Structure 1
C-alpha cells in the first residue's frame, strides 16, 4: 500500500494557541492534529486519516475499559538549529509496537504505512516543534480495543492513534541527578508476564509503589525481579545502567524488561567508544557491595522521555546510597550530550539513527 496516497487529510479550521516553548511541562498540551486508523475483523486496518485533535466516542462496553487490551509507544521529533525536523529511530518504535501487539493479541499494523502517516502528521504540525534547548515534540502512538463486548477474549475491533505534545524535561531536575527508591514490596511484572510489552497495565501496576516513593521524596522506583526481589530490572520510566569499577552494566533482557530503544542506542554508543559494557543479571547486593567498596562510580537511566537521567541516590533497606556525591557523572554527561546532539543535529550521526521529515 502506498502510504502517501492512502492517508486522508482533514486540516483544522481553528488552530490552538501554542504554549510558551521556554516553559514547557511534560504531556499537558497537544498539537492541532492527530492520526487515526480503525481495524475490524474481516476488513483489517483501514481508513488511515489525519484529522483535527478531538475527543473520541467509545461504547461503555468497549474491551479496553474492562480488560486493558492496549499498547502504546513513545518517541520524539526535534528541530535543528538549521530548522530541519528530525525523528530518532522511529522504525524501531513501530517494530516494538508490533512486538507488543503480539503479546496483547492485537493485529499488526503496517509499519511503513504508520511511519509515513507519522511523518505527514509531524510535517503538518511542524510549528509545534519547539526550538528551545532541551525541548522536543513528544509523539504517542497507541492502540485501544474497541469492540463492545463483556467477554474475556481478544477484541475484534481496534483504533490506532497518534497524538503529539511539545515537551520540556520529563523530570523537573532535568539532567541533574534524580533520587530513586528501590521497591521491595510490590512487583511490576515477572518473566512470562507482559513486562516485555509496552502496555498500560504495566504502568497501572507501578502506580502504588510510585506514590509511596514520591511521599518519601523520590522521583521514581527501581524494580527488582518479582520472584526473588533480588535482581535489578528497570525503573518505572527507563532502563538502568551502573558504572562499576570502569565497566558499565545493565540488566539483561530476561523476559520481564522492556527493550528500550534508548537503552539499545546507549549500548551501541558505549561499544563504539570501546567502553567496557555488559548485559547480565545484577543484584542489589552486588550494587551495594560496589558502593561500600567505593567502586560504584555512576548510575543512570535511559528512556525516550528523559533520554539520560543520572541517579544521585538510591534508597534501599532504609539506607541512602549516594552515588558520585549526588552529582552528574562524566560518562552520564558525555552520553547525554552525544545522544541529544545526534537527536537535534549538532553532533555527527555515525549510526544513521535520525530520519529527516520533509514536505511530501
Structure 2
C-alpha cells in the first residue's frame, strides 16, 4: 500500500508539498493546532486523574511557547478509561483537515487497567499524560533510548521478565521543547504556511474525501516494549503459526465516547508453540483499523492481513477464541521462505525453531 512519506531535512530539499523545512529533533505528526493558545477539556474521572492531565499541561506550558488551558472544548479532551482487552496504557486519537493539515479533533486517555497496577508510580502515569499531550501538540514517536518523552512504551521487558523504564524522560526534553517551538514558530511567528507531512495511505485519504467520513488516526503508548522474542513470548497467551483463511467484516464498538473498528481475520492453526489450542482449529484475530458508519480508523503500525498469508503470531487473548497481536505489527511475522518469518514492524527474521526456544 503506497504511502506519502516525507523526510524533514534542514535547508532546502523541496518536495511538492514543502518549502524551507527545518530538521526536527523529535519526530512530528505533521499536524499542529491553528493557534498557540489551545483549550482542552479535562475529563479525568477523579481528582487524581484530573491532576495527571493538569501536571502534564504545566510541563508543556512551562517549557515551550504554547499555552494549554483547561476549559470546555469537546474537540480536545483528556481523560481515562479502563480496558483490559488492549496492550496500551496511553492513547491519542485525532482527526485533521486534509486541506490545511491542522488538527480538527484530539482525544487522549490513560488506561487505568494498567496505571492502577503496583509498578506504575505517579511519575510513570504523569509521563504517559505528558507523552499524549506531546502528540496533541504535534510530536510523533521517537525510538526507545532517545532523549525525549515521546518513546513509545512505558516499560521495557527484558528476557528474564524484569521491567526497566521505557520512558526515563517524563518531562519534555530539549529535543521536544525545540521541536514544538520550531513547529509553532514556523506556523505563526514567521507567517509561513503549514504544510502537512502525510503518513496515511493515499487510498484512505481519497476515501475519506469521497465518503465525507472522519479519518481517525490512532497512536498508542504501549504498556510494555519488547526487545527480545523471549520477553514477548513471556507475555503471550498464545504463540502459533498458521494461515489467514477468511476475512470477516470489521468489528465495530461504541462506548458512547468513542467509536472503534477492528479488522477481523480467521486464522487456521498449523503449529502451536505456546498455549492450549489444537492444530487445525480456527481463531479470530483482531487488528486495529477498519470502517464504521461515520469514520475510517487508521493506525500506521497495524497492517491488514490478507487471505492465504502464512503467519507467526504472538497473541493476547481478549475473549473466547478471540485474540489480538501484542502491540500490533510488532507481534506479526509473515512467512518468507521454508524456514523464516519476517516481522511487519522491524523486518527482523525468526524461524519456528527460534520461536520455540524463546519460551522460558
Q: Hey, which of these two has a bigger chunk of strand by percent?
A: 2
Structures share fold, TM-score greater than 0.5: no
Q: Which has the higher contact order (CA 8 A, sep 6+)?
A: 1
TM-score by length of 1: 0.30
Question: What is the TM-score normalised by the length of structure 2?
Answer: 0.30
